[in-house]
A and B are shown apart, each in its own frame.
Chain A
Amino acid sequence: MATSSVKPRIKLDKKEAKQGDIVEVKALVSHVMETGQRKSADGNVIPRKILNKFTCTVNGKEVFSADFEPAVSANPYIQFKFKATESGPVVLTWIDDDGSKIVGEDSIKVI
């Protein structure tokens, strides 16, 4: 599926971690998160369009994921933690209702 050009903002609280350290990830992505509850000025319901799924993998292994409902705010923010066990890319993926993806990447080095 198409990958969106939207660049998420991702921040890890450390670049290098010892084996077993807890790393905190903060991420913010621009998205309207249209609920499907609102009506436009002409009375038509504005169709729902949200990011419904979020996944984080570290070195290819999933460490955290989330399902979002329309009750998640516009420009969704997510903060979570993972246990550092191996170095590698930290890949964050959001999936839109229309099937497109927003992907962001950082990395962690385990020393």
Chain B
Amino acid sequence: MSAFITRRQAFMAGAAAVAAATLGQSITPAFAANNIDEMTKAFTGGAKPVAGKVKLDLPEIAENGNTVPITVSVDSPMTDKDYVSDVIILADGNPNAGVATFHFSPASGVAEANTRIRLANTQNIVAIAKTNDGKFYTASKEVKVTIGGCGG
């Protein structure tokens, strides 16, 4: 149950900030209760990610929030001149927005990775990809979670 208290506190503290914050078009303001905005800014350095190129594969409904499969892939030739260097995965309804960051190089051949993540409740998952020439692309997806993954 502790997760509820921290989340409520975080939400109240964040409410004023949310009103003033400049949010990416892919993020629903009502859900932005954690540090997703700061995490996004830290990753992009203030640049606004463009929707597209990133493919985010997650189940529509996750029965068990403790282990939700996620696949992220980015459309890129992955050559020495044009490749995706980093992809960050963020969750806007977890106690902390950070989920994982993947680092690719031309040696990766394909910018694609799969892992399993925890989701506390129904929320949006956001992926932001960074290319070697400093461009940012994004995709997001809502996942409905039946049983949360934070031991609450």
CB distance from B27 to the nearest CB of A (A): 17
From B106, B113, B116, B150, A80 is in contact (CB under 8 Å) with: B113
Stretch at the interface among A7-15, A71-79, A94-102, A103-111: A71-79
A-side interface residues, number (CB < 8 Å) = 29
Determine if A66 and B107 form an interchain contact, defined as CB atoms under 8 angstroms apart. no
B-side interface residues, number (CB < 8 Å) = 36
From A38, A62, A67, B105 is in contact (CB under 8 Å) with: A62
Which residues 86-145 in B have Cβ within 8 Å of A in the complex? 91, 94-96, 98-110, 112-119
The secondary-structure label for the interface of chain A is strand
Residues of B in contact with A (beta carbons under 8 Å apart): 2-3, 6, 66-68, 71, 78, 91, 94-96, 98-110, 112-119, 149-151
From A37, A61, A66, A79, B100 is in contact (CB under 8 Å) with: A66
Chain A positions within 8 Å of B99 at CB level: 69, 71-72
Determine if A64 and B108 form an interchain contact, defined as CB atoms under 8 angstroms apart. yes
Determine if B113 and A65 form an interchain contact, defined as CB atoms under 8 angstroms apart. no
Is A88 in contact with chain B by the CB < 8 A criterion?
Answer: no
If A69-B98, A83-B108 touch, does A78 touch B114 (CB 8 Å cutoff)? yes
Is A91 in contact with chain B by the CB < 8 A criterion?
Answer: no
